[in-house]
Structure 1
Amino acid sequence: MNNLFELHTMKCVACEGGVPPIPRDELRHYLEKIPGWQLSEDYAMISKNFMFKGFYKTISFVNVVAWIANQEGHHPLLEVGVNHCLVKYTTNAISALTSNDFICAAKIEQIAQRDAI
C-alpha cells in the first residue's frame, strides 16, 4: 500500500477470528497513511478525536461514520460529545489490528479532509 488513496478505496474483508493481526513492525507503516490517528500502547487499537463547531455537526459526522461502518461491516467504538467524536478501531474478533481498521480509518480521514473537518 503506497498511499491513503489506496487504503480508502479498499473493501473490508469479513473477520470471524483466525485472521492474523498486522505485525507490530508494520503498524507504523499503516499509521503513516492516516494522519492524526494514534496507536494504543498495547498495539491493539487506533483512534482519533475529531473536533466540531456544535452538536449538529458532530452528529452529522457520527452518521457518516455509521454509514461507512455499515457499508464495510466493520464497526468502531465511538465516544460522542457536544463538540467532538472520538473514533476507535480494533478488530474485535481477534482483539488486534487488521487492515480493516486502517481501511475504515482511511475512509473517514478522506471525508474529513475533503470536508475540512
Structure 2
Amino acid sequence: MEKLTTMHCEACRVGAPLVTEAEIKVLHAQIPHWNIIQENNINRLQRVFKFNNFAEALTFTNKAGALAEENGHHPDILTAYGQVTITWWSHKIKGLHKNDFIMAAKTDELQ
C-alpha cells in the first residue's frame, strides 16, 4: 500500500463511503500513535502532541492549521500549555474517511 504521507485528499461529499473495519486496520497501522475514539457516535482519529511550553505548542498549532488549509480538510485543534490535541474526522459523512488517515500521517510529519 502507498504511504499515507504521499497521498492527497480527495473531495469528500455527503454520501461518500466511510472506511471499512478492514481498511481501518490497514490504514491505522501507518499512524500507530493515533487513537480511534468515538464522540457523539462518530469515529474520529485523535492524538495528543507534547511540547515543552505554550510557544512550541502554538507554533505546532499554526503548522497544523496551515496544513489543513492547504488540503481543504480541517480538524479540531485544542492548544494548551505544553500540548496540542488534534482530532480528525470527516464532518460531511459523520465518520472516518481515508482523508482523515492521510491528514493524520501528514500531521505527524509536522513535529
What does residue 16 of structure 2 align with? Answer: 19
What does residue 10 of structure 1 align with? Answer: 7
Q: What amino acid does structure 2 have at the position aligned with 1:48?
A: R
How large is the RMSD of aligned CA atoms in angstroms? 1.4
CA contact (8 A) 2:60 2:110 kept: no
- Unaligned ranges ≥5, structure 2: none
User: If the length of structure 1 is used for normalisation, what is the TM-score?
Assistant: 0.87
What does residue 95 of structure 2 align with? Answer: 96
CA contact (8 A) 1:8 1:106 kept: yes
Give the Cα–Cα distance (whole angstroms) in 2 for the partners of residues 46 and 21 of structure 1.
Answer: 13
What does residue 36 of structure 1 align with? Answer: 33
* Map 1:99-114 → 2, pairs under 5 A: 99-112=98-111
Runs of 4+ displaced beyond 4 Å:
none
Give the Cα–Cα distance (whole angstroms) in 2 for the partners of residues 83 and 24 of structure 1.
Answer: 33
- Aligned residue for 1:48, secondary structure, equals strand
- Unaligned ranges ≥5, structure 1: 113-117
Give the Cα–Cα distance (whole angstroms) in 1 for the partners of residues 56 and 89 of structure 2.
Answer: 25
Give the Cα–Cα distance (whole angstroms) in 1 for the partners of residues 42 and 5 of structure 2.
Answer: 21
Cα displacement (A) at 1:26: 2.1
Deviations 1:75-106 (A, max 9, x none): 00111111101100000001110111011110
User: If the length of structure 2 is used for normalisation, what is the TM-score?
Assistant: 0.91
Cα displacement (A) at 1:9: 1.4
More displaced, 16-25 or 37-46? 37-46
- Aligned residue for 1:45, secondary structure, equals strand
Aligned length: 109
Give the Cα–Cα distance (whole angstroms) in 2 for the partners of residues 69 and 21 of structure 1.
Answer: 20
